[in-house]
Structure formats: structure tokens, C-alpha cells
Structure 1
Amino acid sequence: MDSIEILEKLVGFPTVSKDSNLELIEYVEQLLGTQGIKTARVYNQDRTKTNLLIKVGPPELPGVLLSGHSDVVPVEDQNWSVPPFELTSTQDRLYGRGTTDMKGFVACALATIMKARDRSLRTPLWLAISYDEEVGCIGVRRLLDMMAGSTIKPLFCIVGEPTMLKVANGHKGKVFLRANCHGRGGHSALAPKALNALHLACDFIDRLRVKQQELANSGKQDDSYEIPYTTIHTAKIEGGVALNIVPATSSVDFEMRHLPEDNPSLILEELQENADKIAESHREHFSEACIAIEQISSYPGLATPKQAPVVDFVKSLTGTNDTFKVAFGTEGGLFQDRLGVPTVVCGPGSMEQGHKADEFITREQISRCDQMLAKLLDRLEVGII
């Protein structure tokens, strides 16, 4: 099967992050099983989802790892003109949820793995397919724990997120945070005798805005990014049950997208100190006043030097000379931080089409990705070490 035929099958599995990916994984195992290619599963705790690790080539040697995720974002509340979980072809475009982010790359990688079976590779080719990337890079962590226990680690990692097949050597890290605000409830007719938790939330959000401005004006800067500094974004406020009740609790969901060289823990400490000051200002009359920040999820940034061998290696496959840094996050920082594997991001399609109605990838991008991975096989056949 070629890459587009595989992509058609992959798109047909509605692997939204909230749902299982087991049917897709079973399809991949059956596809590769016809070639005698063995795979290894690494499940989540309740065994409803799994990572898949595939290796072709000398088992005793480290290989080049291709990395992709199986999950996709939801399609609800999006106005699709084509069925989202069917591959629809119009001229040069292939429409369907996940075509760009990132089943297009996974399809190309699977087609390449099948071709690798018939090649005499001196350096192995590995492929990792993860779950729950779209909700905080959760699933790949179990795979990394398993790989960390092995004496054989990947030489390089290529994360195939959409970059139009340009080599990205960096992205910001992300921390998802929630500020839980506790005041004192009461009847709205006696509101001054209560402590409105939504007011606490608003005061805290004001501190977030002040910190954001400080980071923009005097924080660390990296002009390689479209937004060259660490950002803090308020996303959601929850609280209140009825118009005539002063809310006793509320919460604020916010995120930090930080430069790899910024320490998010230090910023978080400062934000918690500010939250404590807000609560303390009310404690004389309301002893229960509190704002507690909890971390929901996080993943590290990626910062691979331009001169790193992995950068030169992947540029030689794509034929491009430039590198850049992407605005979105990937699992790449985890491969680099937790395994010490030199990593870049390079895959077909553009994130401009990702997460939107009528998501698509072009045939030209699929073809170019196939060509890049064909060059990779040639390099692995002669050995890159």
C-alpha cells in the first residue's frame, strides 16, 4: 500500500483524544504483520489506549526514530463541508480530520517501514506512534519510561508534525494551570458580608496581565519565534450557581507558553506569591480566603542547536538549508529531555490547516515526505555512524 492508501484507512478511525485508539493500532499491527514486522504496545493504565513502537533493522543497534501521534482534535462545532472521518480528494488536496495533524506523516512513515523490511539496513529505523498528544503529550510518557529502561536509545528523533518539510529545531514549552479561588458564599442581598470568589479570580487575572506585560517588556527574548517571549494566556473562568447567590468558589484556567531557556517553576512561584497576597488582603474578615494554583499538565520546550548533527542530517534529507522554530508544541522536548535524544521537528503539511474544519494536506506534501523518507532509507542502508 502507498502512503495515501494508508492515510485513507487512518483517517477512517475517529481517534479523538477522548476515545480509544485501539482499532487504529490493530489496523497498523495487521498491516505490518503481513510483512512480518513485529510491534510492541505500551498501554495506558486502563488499557483503552496504547502507544506502538516498531523497529526494523539490526536489533542490537540504536536507530533513527520517527515519531507521530494517533489522536486528533474533535470536530464538534466545526462546519465541515466533507465527512471529517473519510478521506476526500479534490484536485491536489486530501481532506479529513488528522490529514495534516498528523496522520499524513504517520501514513508516510508506515509505508516507509514496510519498504525498510526489504532493505539491508545497517542502522535501524524505528517508529513510535503515541496517544493523547493533543491533550498535553500524555501518552508518550509511558513509552519513554519503557525506552529509558533500555540500554539501546535512538540516535536521532524526527517528530513529523507539520512544518511543510522544513527543519524546526525549537518550540516553546507549555504549562496548563488552574487557580482555584475560595471565598465565602451568601445571599446576594447581603453581598458585602460575603467574599465573592469571582472577584478573587478577577484580581488574580489582573496580576496575570501585569506579569505578561513584564515578560513582554523585560523578559528573555528569542526573535526566532513569531512571539519572541514567554506568554501567559487566560483561557476560562468558572464560578457561580445563581444570580442571587454570591459564589464561594471559582476557578481560572490559564497557560504559560515559555521559552526553553525560561524556568516556568520560577514564574509559577511568583504567581503563587501574588495569589497569596490577594487572599491575605481579605483574611482579616474572611479566614477562608485562598487562591491555590495547581498544575494540570505540562511539556518541555525543544531547543536543538542549529549546528547539531541531527539538524544537518535531516536537512540533507529535505534539501533545505534553513531552520526555524514553530509556535506549537510537540513531543520532541520530551524525547530530548527524558531520553537525551537529539530531536528536530519535520513533517508534511502546514499547521495552518490543522485543528480546523475541512483540514487537508496536499498530495505534493505527501509525495515530498515519501521522497524524504526514501532518502532516509538510503542513508540507513549504508549506515550513518
Structure 2
Amino acid sequence: MNSKELLSALIAFDTTSRESNLQLIEFVCDYLAKLDVSCQLIFNDERSKANLLATIGPDDRPGIVLSGHTDVVPVDGQNWTVAPFSLSEKEGRLYGRGTADMKAYIACVLAAVPALLKAPLNKPVHIALSYDEEVGCLGVRSMLSELEKRPHKPLVCIIGEPTELKPVLGHKGKLAMRCDVHGAACHSAYAPQGVNAIEHAAELIGELGRLGMELRAPELCDARFDPPFTTVQTGVINGGKALNIVPADCRFDFEIRALPAQDPWQVAKQLEQYAELQVLPKMHTVDAESSISFAELSAYPGLVTDANSEAARLVAKICGSEEFSTVAFGTEGGLFDAIGIPTVICGPGSMDQGHKPDEFVSVEQLDACDAMLARLIQTLSSH
């Protein structure tokens, strides 16, 4: 099967993160089995989802990881003009959920397997497919634990997130948090007798904004990133029952997208300290049972790969470009890097199309990715 045929097959599986990815994983296993390539599956606790690892070439030395995530974002509420889980082609574009982010890369990797098997590889190639990347890079963690157990840690990881096949060496890290504010309800005519959870949550959100502005100081910026500073934002807030009731509860979710050199937990700790020292005492003067709690929703580290590293040089060679850049979105790259596997982001398509209705990847980009992987095979076959 060529990359377009494989992409069509992959798009047909609804692997929205809330759904199982097992049908897609079983398809890949069957495809590889027919080529005499064995797979290792690493399941979640419920065995409803799985990561896949497959190795081609010599297994007695470090090699190259070609990594991609199998899950996609929802299509709910989006105005699609084509069927999202059926590949459509029009004017050189291939439409469907996940075409850009990032099943096109997976399709090209799978299409390259016959050539990988025929080549006299001097290093192994590991195919690594994960689940639940879109909801916090969750699945890849157990796969990385498996890679760490192996006697030969991979030299390089190439993650095929859509970069228009331009090598990307860096992205920000992310920490997503939830704050629950519990106050005391009463009739709004006697508002001072209650503890208004929404108002105190608003005070905390205001402090978040202030902390975010501090992070824009020139000495904290990194011009390689856009925006060049760590960002803080509140994305979800819920609270209150009726206008004539002082609300007892309010919840808000916020995120910190941190430059790789900065620790997002420092911002979270500053907010927690502000809550404990400035907000809670005021709440307790009215009701001693009032509380504020924080919980982590998800987190992944940032990525900065040395432009002079073996990973960067390899990808520059197969891409034909030494113009490295950064991206605003996050990837699993920081997690690979954290266990000592230098990582570069490089894949077909553009994130400008990702997560949108009528998501697409161009046929030209698909062909170019096939050519890039052919150059990788040639490079790994040289002596």
C-alpha cells in the first residue's frame, strides 16, 4: 500500500481521544505482520487503548525513532463540508480529520516499511505510535518507560507533527491546572453573610493575569519563540446557581505555556501562595470551612534540541534544510528528550489546518514526506 492508501485507511478510524484507538492499532499490527514485522503493544490500565512499538533492522545498537500519535481532536460543533472520517481529495488536497495532525506522517512511515526491510540498515528504525497525545501526552509515557528498559537507547527521535517538513528544534512546555473555590451560600439580599466563591475566584484569576504580565519582562523573553514569553491564561470557569444566591462554589481551569528554560510550577506555586496568604484569610473571616484547592490536569515539558546535535544534523540532511525553527504548539518531544533521546519535530502538513473543520494535507506534502523517509533509509544504509 502507498502512503495515500494507508492514509485513507487510517482516517477511517475515529480515534478521537475519548474513543479507543485499538481498531487502528490492530490494522497497523496486521499490516506489519504481513511484512513479517512484529509489534509490541503497551496498553492502558483499562486495555481500551494501546501504544505500538515495532523495530526494523539490527537490534544490538541505538537507532532512530519515528514517532506519531494516533488520536485526533473532536469534530463536534465544526462545520465540515466533507465527511471527516473518510478521505476526500480535491485540487491536490487530502481532507479528513487527522490528515495534518498527524496521520499523514504515520501513513508515510508505514508505506516506507517495505523499503526499510530491503535496505541494509546500519541502525534500527523504531516505529512508535502513541495514544492520548491530544489530552496531555498521556499514552507516550508508558511507551517511554519501555524504551528506557531496552539495552540500547535510541539516538534520535523524529516526531512527525505537521511542520511543512521544516525541522523544528523547540517548543514550550505546558502545565494545565484546576482551581476549586468553596465558599458559603446565602440569600443575595444578605450577601456579606456569605462567601462569594465567584468573586474570590475572580480575584485569583486577576492575580494570574498579573503574574502573566510579569513574565513578559524583556530579561525573561526568548526571541526564538512566538510569543517570546511564557503565557498564562484561564480557559474555563463554572460557578453559581442563580443571581439571588451567593455562589458557594466556583471552578476554573488555567494553563501555563512556559519557555523551556522556565518552570511553569513556579507560577502555580505563586498563585497557591497568594490564595493561602491573601484570599483564604478573607474567606475565613466569614466562614471557617471555606477552602481553595488546586489540582494538576496535565503537563508536559518543553523542548530545545541543540542545533549541533546528531539529531539536528540527521534531520537537516534528510530535509535538505538547516533552517531550524520553533513552534507554538506542544508535542511529545520534551518527554523523549527528558529520558535522553534528542528529538526533532518534522512532518508533513501545517498546524494551520490542524484542529479545524475540513482539515487537510496536500498531496505534495505527502509525496515530500515519502521522499524524506527515502533519504533517511539511504542515509541509514550507507557505510
TM-score w.r.t. the length of structure 1 is: 0.97
**Other-structure match for 1:129:** 129
Amino acid at match of 1:211: L
- Deviation, 1:218, is 5.0
Measure the CA separation in 2 of the matches of 1:182 and 1:80: 41
**Other-structure match for 1:342:** 342
Correspondence 1:81-120 to 2 at 5 A:
81-120=81-120
Amino acid at match of 1:159: I
**Other-structure match for 1:307:** 308
**Other-structure match for 2:242:** 242
Count how many residue pairs are aligned between Structure 1 and Structure 2: 382
The 1:242/1:219 distance shift into structure 2, 3 A limit, reads: farther
Amino acid at match of 1:232: V
Measure the CA separation in 1 of the matches of 2:335 and 2:208: 27
Amino acid at match of 1:15: T
Q: Give 3-state SS (helix, strand or coil) of 1:250's partner.
A: strand
- Deviation, 1:353, is 0.3
Mapped pair 1:278 → 2:279: yes
Measure the CA separation in 1 of the matches of 2:108 and 2:144: 23
Of stretches 18-27 and 267-276 in structure 1, the one that deviates more from structure 2 is 267-276
- Deviation, 1:219, is 5.7
Once superposed, what is the RMSD of the aligned Cα atoms?
1.1
Question: Is contact 1:64-1:126 (8 Å) kept?
Answer: yes
- Deviation, 1:286, is 2.1
Amino acid at match of 2:310: P
- Post-superposition Cα deviations, 1:314-373, rounded to whole Å, max 9, x if no partner, equal 011011120000000000000010x20011100000000000000000000001100110
**Other-structure match for 1:333:** 334
The 1:218/1:211 distance shift into structure 2, 3 A limit, reads: farther
Amino acid at match of 2:34: T
Mapped pair 1:266 → 2:270: no
Measure the CA separation in 2 of the matches of 1:328 and 1:48: 27
Question: Is contact 2:183-2:283 (8 Å) kept?
Answer: no
**Other-structure match for 2:169:** 169
- Post-superposition Cα deviations, 1:34-87, rounded to whole Å, max 9, x if no partner, equal 111111000001000000001100122221000100000000100000000000
Amino acid at match of 2:214: E
Amino acid at match of 2:26: E
Q: Give 3-state SS (helix, strand or coil) of 1:282's partner.
A: helix
Structure 2: gaps (5+ residues): none
Of stretches 181-190 and 43-52 in structure 1, the one that deviates more from structure 2 is 181-190
Question: Is contact 1:275-1:292 (8 Å) kept?
Answer: no
- Post-superposition Cα deviations, 1:104-147, rounded to whole Å, max 9, x if no partner, equal 00000111123211222121111100000000000000111111
Question: Is contact 2:44-2:50 (8 Å) kept?
Answer: yes
Question: Is contact 2:52-2:128 (8 Å) kept?
Answer: yes
**Other-structure match for 2:323:** 322
Measure the CA separation in 2 of the matches of 1:290 and 1:163: 45
**Other-structure match for 1:356:** 356
Question: Is contact 1:171-1:327 (8 Å) kept?
Answer: yes
- Post-superposition Cα deviations, 1:235-280, rounded to whole Å, max 9, x if no partner, equal 0111122333222111110000000100122222111111112112
Amino acid at match of 1:118: K
**Other-structure match for 2:212:** 212
Of stretches 325-334 and 306-315 in structure 1, the one that deviates more from structure 2 is 306-315
Structure 1: gaps (5+ residues): none
**Other-structure match for 2:298:** 297
Measure the CA separation in 2 of the matches of 1:98 and 1:77: 16
Question: Is contact 1:113-1:125 (8 Å) kept?
Answer: no
- Post-superposition Cα deviations, 1:168-195, rounded to whole Å, max 9, x if no partner, equal 0000000010111111112223222101
Mapped pair 1:376 → 2:380: no
Measure the CA separation in 1 of the matches of 2:82 and 2:270: 48
Measure the CA separation in 2 of the matches of 1:49 and 1:149: 21
TM-score w.r.t. the length of structure 2 is: 0.98
Amino acid at match of 1:89: E
Q: Give 3-state SS (helix, strand or coil) of 2:30's partner.
A: helix
Measure the CA separation in 1 of the matches of 2:122 and 2:215: 48
Amino acid at match of 1:115: A
Question: Is contact 2:175-2:265 (8 Å) kept?
Answer: no
Measure the CA separation in 2 of the matches of 1:206 and 1:239: 16
Measure the CA separation in 2 of the matches of 1:34 and 1:43: 22
Measure the CA separation in 1 of the matches of 2:72 and 2:266: 32
Measure the CA separation in 1 of the matches of 2:112 and 2:247: 57
Question: Is contact 1:237-1:250 (8 Å) kept?
Answer: yes
Measure the CA separation in 2 of the matches of 1:189 and 1:96: 54
Q: Give 3-state SS (helix, strand or coil) of 2:220's partner.
A: coil
Measure the CA separation in 2 of the matches of 1:113 and 1:198: 56
Measure the CA separation in 1 of the matches of 2:162 and 2:261: 24
